[in-house]
Amino acid sequence: MPNLEPNYDARYSPRLTNEDLAPTRHQTWSWYNIFSFWMSDVHSMGGYVVAASFFALGLASWQVLLCLLLGICIVQLCANLVAKPSQMAGVPYAVICRQAFGVFGANIPAVIRGLIAFAWYGIQTYLAANALMLVILKFWPALTPLTNGHFLGLSHLGWLCFGIMWVLQALVFWHGMSAIKRFIDIAGPAVYVAMMALAGWILWQTGFDGISFTLASKQLTAGEQTWQMITATALVVSYFSGPLLNFGDFSRYGKSMQEIRRGNRWGLPFNFLLFSIVTVVIVSGTQSLFGKMITDPIETVSHVGNSLAMAIGLLTMITATIGINIVANFVSPAFDFSNCSPQKISFRTGGMIAAVGSVLLTPWNLFQSPELIHYTLDVLGAFIGPLFGILLTDFYLIKRGNVFVDDLFTDSPNGRYWYKNGFNPKAIAALVPSVAVGLIISFIPALHEVANFSWFIGAFLGAGCYRFLARHEREGVSSTSFTAQRVAAKE
């Protein structure tokens, strides 16, 4: 007989609860699943371009690798911190935000993260569609005329490829988190195979003499080198700030914090450094082979003479992009939008809202403007940094590491996270000025270089403001064991 028992306590408010938001009963993810999560996040076209671009800053190879390692270690530390409350409570990012922002105020950080994913989901889908178009034209050149006509800025073949990628991602997502886990377990390693094969082909063509770990011709002073190293380190953290913020959506399934820390250790410093070295071998080889440095992996693969090898390489890149898109830009808005109206918006519905919204944004038009992309990255950091700072300050410094699961799903004025009509005015008061400062920095040309640090500035401002405003609410260490609370929440 199937188990018809609901996945949550019947006393939980329906305004705050559904099967997807309730504490999970199945914390089965091992360190390898977390490792695969980060592999899917790192092994993308965006990750490739970021890693390759650092070797063109005018720094020596050891300096670039040091920046990459330092930046990714900061990401690892932050990932461990943000993972803990969600793993303890078994709830996603949107629900754990109720601790700091109130049971209804949590919709503010949830919607902000969901809308950010909106745009990036469309852009990543567009990048994957471009790769698919190259494969199609390589094998069926007769379809070239379909690239001439345009509708809303995209060719007819472009619309076809975008539609195919849109549907493929939706199919994986529609089968739920178990299917997503299986997919990312395959997607990340598959890219390594393709990347290693491409690096091997480059080495075979150029020899070791054709590979240089310093890809820039410009010379920098000691002061300029130091600034470039600091900037590169900050950019690594900013690049991962999106999936880092909602890492709780995945850590909630972890067997234990020990497993999550192990997965983060292998998936971030070790994995990212190896990926960066393989990337620079490929990028450096393109300079020797083609007379120019190619940082676009799609363009690099398209230069491979063998049609079958090219197709396999591009399809692998497509798989990687699907992986990061589902991880970073599908799962997050699914939980975030579901949090706004749990009984009307399920996990699947929330994800499809993001998918449909990504088409309406016509992301190919956004991507064609480098200036707009630059502002998008800065604005993303301006919003995500303060949210990150407030969330961690509340959990570690104000709540002292306590999570009262039942209160996360209670809309009674007596609930711990009710605050004022379900909103915490102090968290909102800390968020608004912190975001405002980040936006001002982003849109003032004279502060262009400082904008690269918008995530750090926002995180410290958000944390500092909230710590000051909520200083009188600091809790003592609870005498009630959290394990008992979790068991009570599941029974």
Q: Which residue has the higher pLDDT, 196 or 215?
A: 196
Q: How does residue 319 score in pLDDT terms, banded at 50, 70 and 90? A: confident
**What is the pTM assigned to this prediction?**
0.85
Average per-residue pLDDT in the chain?
A: 83
Q: Which residue has the higher pLDDT, 485 or 77?
A: 77
Q: Tell me, what's the pLDDT at 279? A: 80
Q: Tell me, what's the pLDDT at 393? A: 96
| Segment 348-367 mean pLDDT | 80
Q: Tell me, what's the pLDDT at 374? A: 57
CA distance 488 to 92: 19
Q: Tell me, what's the pLDDT at 489? A: 41
Q: Which two tokens stand for residue 335?
A: 């939980």
Q: Where are the alpha helices (DSSP H) in 55-106?
A: 61-89, 93-96, 98-101
Per residue in 416-464, pLDDT (tens digit) is 999 999 999 999 999 999 999 988 988 888 887 788 888 999 999 999 9
Q: Which residue has the higher pLDDT, 2 or 470?
A: 470
Q: Which two tokens stand for residue 314?
A: 């591009």
Q: Tell me, what's the pLDDT at 479? A: 41
Per residue in 143-163, pLDDT (tens digit) is 888 888 778 878 889 899 999
Q: Tell me, what's the pLDDT at 309? A: 74
DSSP state of 305: S
Angle between the 307-329 and 31-42 helix axes, to the nearest 10 degrees? 110
Q: Which residue has the higher pLDDT, 419 or 377?
A: 419
Give the burial string for 225-235 (b: 16+ CB within 10 Å, else e): beebbebbbbb
Q: Which two tokens stand for residue 301?
A: 């693969």
* CA dist list (Å): 122 to 112, 356, 364, 397: 16, 9, 8, 37
CB 154 within 8 Å of CB 364: yes
Instruction: Please say if the pLDDT value at position 480 is more than 50.
Output: no
| Segment 314-324 mean pLDDT | 77
CA distance 444 to 429: 24
Q: Tell me, what's the pLDDT at 490? A: 43
Q: Which residue has the higher pLDDT, 317 or 281?
A: 281
Per residue in 115-147, pLDDT (tens digit) is 888 777 887 788 788 878 888 887 888 888 888
3-class SS of residue 386:
helix
Per residue in 32-47, pLDDT (tens digit) is 999 988 887 777 666 7
List the end-to-end C-alpha distance of the chain, in Å, as a whole number.
20
Per residue in 61-100, pLDDT (tens digit) is 778 888 888 999 999 999 999 999 999 999 999 999 999 9
Instruction: Please list the residues that pair with 29 across neighbouring strands.
Output: 254
Q: Tell me, what's the pLDDT at 429? A: 97
